[in-house]
A and B are shown apart, each in its own frame.
Chain A
Amino acid sequence: MARITAGIATSHIPAVGAAIDLGKTTEPYWQPVFKGYEFSKRWIVEKMPDVVVLVYNDHASAFSLEIIPTFAIGCAERFAPADEGWGPRPVPDVEGHPELAWHIAQSTILDEFDMTIVNKMDVDHGLTVPLSLLFGQPQAWPVKVIPLAVNVVQYPPPTGNRCWNLGRAIRKAVESFDEDLDVMIFGTGGMSHQLQGPRAGLINREFDTRFLDKLTADPAGLVKLPHVDYVREAGSEGIELVMWLIMRGALKADTREVYRFYHVPASNTAVGHIILENP
């Protein structure tokens, strides 16, 4: 049977992807950011999963305002990097795992989550930057990836509680998949940042630290946080943090924090990263 071995949360800042692609990772501004992922890159080589369920938000790349799915699961064989306005990132295509993706779609729909099934989709920095941070610059990504896109652009996004429960349904789905697979789940985006308007540049280290603490110790308390608190405390784009709760919901109650990294700033954003390992 398949199993979820660990969860990883990380910011997915586009400028971080650009720094990697343009060979700037050792510059003084960027060096502390990438140093924070050195442990993680070694750790994941040791624990290499077969499949990653990668929870992210599309930034008006695959989905415009024409169709806005709350939860969309990528069931295709492969996904190409999106052109977000400056040409596609020079990273490999993402290879999917259609059998497991379809299984998760069916299982979660029968568990009353109305998933959108996507058979054609380009993936933007929200998905590819976390892969670059964990796996560097390989010729091909070493894992298969199931993209799970969450709407956090058009209000209202899903509640934290809904995200948490979807995570639980994903765990049930993975554990009922009849193949011997190690699966990890990534929750991406965040942490505190605001990209719009006169309040742009907001960072809230205290909020972020509490969020990281509660993610392991008190997720049931965290899922009750209303959207307005995310926006007020963590900035308008800090709402992306609800996606981390899908990751947490897919893990066991007694999951263990293996690693944590926090750094301000990368471009406009507080970089947050945590690794949680199931017992």
Chain B
Amino acid sequence: MRSYNEAFKDIPGTTVFDATRSRQGYHLNMFCMSLMKAGNRERFKADEQAYLETFPMTPEQRQAVRDRDYNRMIALGGNIYFLAKIGATDGFSFQNLASKMTGVPEDDYKAMMVAGGRPAKGNRSIADKSK
């Protein structure tokens, strides 16, 4: 199992949602889950901090949500399928979230996708960037 989990760590810019992440991010992801109900979305929008306090998350996780810092949320155990519900609550498309995570303006990100996406070459391995 150790070598199974380790193998993913050579892939750049990618976090695999394994047991460690799942335990770390449980309450953050369950907060996201709560946003599937319209009433909860309204409560969250009305007072973000107060709503976040109702979940036993860490202060860092709450701050990352308030900052809409998706890479930070992932580092703190968030899973993108769950985090997408924050984006949906905000009325943003997935491409908007992707532009935030990749640090480029949304139009540039869209243009990259139309041009065929981010190439695999050079993005396969941290150890060997020529791959």
Contacts and interface: CB of A to CB of B under 8 A. Distances in A.
Interface of A: 14-15, 59-61, 64-66, 82-87, 153-156, 192, 194-207, 226-228, 231-233, 236-237, 264-265, 267-268, 270
A204 B116 CA distance: 9
Given A195-B84, A203-B119, 18 more contacts: A84-B85, A155-B19, A196-B101, A197-B13, A197-B71, A198-B102, A198-B103, A199-B12, A199-B102, A200-B118, A201-B112, A203-B117, A226-B7, A232-B125, A236-B80, A265-B114, A267-B94, A268-B95
28 contacts: A14-B94, A15-B94, A59-B81, A60-B33, A84-B85, A85-B87, A85-B89, A155-B17, A195-B94, A195-B97, A195-B98, A196-B14, A196-B80, A197-B13, A199-B123, A201-B117, A202-B120, A204-B119, A206-B120, A226-B7, A232-B11, A232-B125, A236-B15, A265-B113, A265-B116, A267-B94, A268-B94, A268-B113
Contacts of B71: 197-198
A84 B36 CA distance: 6
B37 A197 contact: no
* From A83, A153, A200, A227, residue with most partner B Cβ within 10 Å: A200
B117 A265 contact: yes
B22 interface: yes
A83 to B, nearest CB: 5
A58 to B, nearest CB: 9
B16 A236 contact: yes
B13 to A, nearest CB: 3
Interface of B: 4-5, 7-8, 10-19, 22, 26, 29-30, 32-33, 35-38, 41, 70-71, 74, 79-82, 84-85, 87-89, 91, 93-95, 97-98, 101-103, 109, 112-114, 116-120, 123-125
Contacts of A86: 88, 91
B109 A201 contact: yes
Contacts of A203: 113, 116-120
Main secondary structure of the interface of A (DSSP, over half): loop
Nearest to A61: B36
A203 B120 CA distance: 7
A201 B84 contact: no
Nearest to B20: A155
B21 to A, nearest CB: 8
